[in-house]
């Protein structure tokens, strides 16, 4: 019983970490574009 709850919790944690990583990558790409566009102007 406890193991099932733990694995569910771990799955949720890894999903959250993954989405956080994707969001960080996306924000990083947007920031990079903004910086390069301001440099070109």
C-alpha count within 13 angstroms, C-beta hemisphere, residue 10 = 6
pTM: 0.51
Q: Where are the alpha helices (DSSP H) in 1-41?
A: 2-40
pLDDT tens over the chain, length 41 residues: 455 566 666 666 788 888 889 999 999 999 999 999 888 75
Rounded Cα distance between 33 and 25, Å, is 12
Rounded Cα distance between 22 and 18, Å, is 6
Rounded Cα distance between 27 and 40, Å, is 20
């Amino acid at each position: 019983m406890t193991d099932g709850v733990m694995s569910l919790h771990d799955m949720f944690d890894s999903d959250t970490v993954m989405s956080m990583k994707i969001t960080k990558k996306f924000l990083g790409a947007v920031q990079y574009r903004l910086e390069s566009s301001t440099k070109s102007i």
